[in-house]
Amino acid sequence: MSYQFKGNLKGLLCDEFCSEAIANVKIRIYRATASREVVSQAAAAVKETFHEVSAEELKSKEKSLLAETLTDAEGNFTIDFGRESKYEGEAFDIDFECGNVPRPKPYPKKLPVLQFHITTLQPRWKQTENDFMAYWAYEIPNRWWCLIRGRFDAWIICGRVVNCKTKQPLKGLIVAAFDVDWLQDDPLGSNVTDASGHFRIDYTEADFSKTLLPFLNVEWPAGPDIYFRITEPVSGAVLLNEDRSVGHRADRTNRGPCFCIELCVPQEVPPNNEVPALFERVGIYDIGPTGAQFDANGYTTDVPKLAFYGGLDLNGTLPSGTNTNEMEYRFRIFNADTSYELTATQVLNAMVPFKIGELLKQTGPITWTHEAVIITPALNSAGELWITVPRGNNLVTGIFTPTDGSLAVINSAALALNAGNTAFASDTFDLTAPSVLIAGNAVPAAQRAPIHTFKIVFEARKVGTTTLTATNTLDKIVISNVNYKQRRHPGWGYTGDENIMAAAMLEIGETTGSGHGCGGITTTVTAQYTVCHPHIESLKLRFEGNPTLPTPFSAGPPPYAAEYHDNNKVFSTMGMEPCAYILWLDVQLGLTDGHQKISQIHDHIAFCKTS
């Protein structure tokens, strides 16, 4: 016959709503010696038998080990006593070994591995055909379990929030806990109340033993002195704001590893204020009207000013899933140079899928997940491009929270300039045909990119209505997406063509001619350069090598000259030692993607100073 023993192990923190599964611990079953003492132990209350196993005791019972297994995420385990174990249904000892306790994030230090004896158990076996089965569930009392948690520096506040008058539980509120300290109060953590009003805050000793003076720990040897603040997450309304003096009350001072409390909110929780959907920024740049970081011409107010390129984040404010208003919004985009309004399809073609926010889901007593909410814009049945704000408002299916205020992402190079889709806010030029443009020569006027300016109008409304509830407009934004196909250093026999955002080419006159690439430089270096882009902020010619070097040359004045060229910029090499050097061309464009300026563009060419 075989015996199958199934069990479940939990630890009690406060009450039935504040317990936790003891996951990933090792359950050990030891053979108990048949004696009158074993019978009395099997009949004894667990509170009389539960204890930490000493090293000596552990060594003495090693040979009595019958079986061991790990608990799963819910604290469940199964042990099969096969015939080879020679187990015949008698009483046995149950221990568990753990090297950690449930906590929301890994502990940074090494933790001990401890073993605890629970009880001596005589299972009530039930026969099923030729085998026997028994089930046993045990919840470690909070007195013991909290002491164990303390051994692993795992501190917890487990509580419930209710209305003071009705005693009804309040969900969706943020509870923050603080420790009163001598020099500065320590935040212990915060969490959101669930549907039954319960919350849990996990922390460690490090969270309440901080001081401004590292050599002074004012908490010794006590626990934290706790007070609370409760807020409504959407409106930010403070519903309970305990004075720090509350932390000095007898029921709040020097709390241990487990602290259980019921808090009540004295006033009615105000209904969630309706948060509008509103367009406020391109990347990090505020569109105004107050505090605008765009000038009247559509550039940023940086010094020097910047135009925009590439993918642009259109950011602002969005209601979360806990708001009462169900919103949708759209962007209308105009070619500000011609006043042409792009169609909904043209706007859609310039939009890319984007992350609008996250769904916060509770997957266990102390486990949460954040799932990205990706919006793929599409036209509705009326051919309009409205984006609906997600409405998740449930800890099981997820509470929607906007992320960084993202409203849309626009590929600015795909913005149409006309109704026929024959021109876009991108310009491509080929400087290799019909003939190769050599550095030092001017870029033809026909191959100098124009400046494109757009107007962006934002509109929001409640779903199912036609009345606009919010609007905002960016009157002008300068867009520049340029590509120059160019051949650098063709005199060196180089045939590979490069595609770069600006024409940026450099030659040395003394080595440009065929067969002169390895010729030595004597008294002068003649730089030949061509730079072209509608938003050149600066350019510089500089030398790299052993000093003494010629003084760098900066062309200008910037910003926003469209083209520079010179085929006879002469530098004296007098004073330079005979050696190898590099001449660099550095070009900075006045462009941003809304978050950071574009990196410099470079070209360089090496030469040897022979005498």
Residues 6+ apart with CB under 8 A from 575: 548
Residue 569 placed within a domain:
yes
Q: Are residues 471 and 492 located together in one domain of the fold?
A: no
Residue 71 placed within a domain:
yes
Q: Are residues 29 and 93 located together in one domain of the fold?
A: yes
Residue 99's DSSP bridge partners are none
Residue 427's DSSP bridge partners are 482
Q: Are residues 218 and 334 located together in one domain of the fold?
A: no
Q: How far apart are CA 185 and CA 42, in angstroms?
A: 49
Q: Are residues 364 and 342 located together in one domain of the fold?
A: yes
Confidence of residue 206 (pLDDT cuts 50, 70, 90): confident
Average pLDDT over residues 431-456: 94
**More confidently predicted of 84 and 544:** 544
Q: How many helices (H) and strands (E) does the chain have?
A: 7, 42
Residue 563 placed within a domain:
yes
Residue 273 placed within a domain:
no
Q: How far apart are CA 262 and CA 271, in angstroms?
A: 23
**More confidently predicted of 392 and 46:** 392
Domain boundary among 240, 265, 290: 265
Domain boundary among 232, 265, 298: 265
Please report, for the domain that includes residue 250, its CATH number: 2.60.40.1120
Q: Are residues 560 and 419 located together in one domain of the fold?
A: no
**What pLDDT score was predicted for residue 42?**
47
Residue 149 placed within a domain:
no
Q: Are residues 97 and 161 located together in one domain of the fold?
A: no
Structural domain of 36 = 3-140
Please report, for the domain that includes residue 101, its CATH number: 2.60.40
Average pLDDT over residues 548-574: 84
| Total number of domains in the chain | 4
Of 50-59, 262-271, 494-503, the one with minimum mean pLDDT is 262-271
**More confidently predicted of 84 and 224:** 224
Q: Are residues 460 and 547 located together in one domain of the fold?
A: no
The neighbour count for residue 569, using CB atoms within 10 Å, is 16
Give residue-wise pLDDT tens across range 302-331.
988 999 999 999 999 898 887 777 899 999
What's the number of CA atoms in the CB half-sphere (13 Å) around residue 443?
26
Q: Are residues 283 and 197 located together in one domain of the fold?
A: no
**What pLDDT score was predicted for residue 221?**
46
Q: Are residues 488 and 544 located together in one domain of the fold?
A: yes
Give residue-wise pLDDT tens across range 405-442.
899 999 999 999 999 999 999 999 999 999 999 999 99
Of 31-40, 288-297, 311-320, 487-496, the one with minimum mean pLDDT is 31-40
**More confidently predicted of 499 and 186:** 499
Q: How far apart are CA 288 and CA 25, in angstroms?
A: 57
Of 125, 71, 76, 115, nearest to 93 by C-alpha is: 115
- Output phi, psi for 143, to 5 deg: -60, -45
Q: How far apart are CA 317 and CA 44, in angstroms?
A: 62
**What pLDDT score was predicted for residue 46?**
59
* Pairing status of strand 398-402 against strand 354-362: antiparallel
Average pLDDT over residues 42-63: 80
**What pLDDT score was predicted for residue 217?**
44
Residue 513 placed within a domain:
yes
514 pLDDT exceeds 80?
no
Domain boundary among 422, 444, 479: 479
Q: Are residues 83 and 218 located together in one domain of the fold?
A: no
Residue 508 placed within a domain:
yes
Q: Are residues 235 and 336 located together in one domain of the fold?
A: no
**More confidently predicted of 216 and 145:** 145
Q: Are residues 387 and 422 located together in one domain of the fold?
A: yes
90-113 in b/e form (b: 16+ CB < 10 A) is ebbbbbbbbeebbbeeeeeeeeee
**What pLDDT score was predicted for residue 573?**
92
Residue 271 placed within a domain:
no
Confidence of residue 28 (pLDDT cuts 50, 70, 90): very high
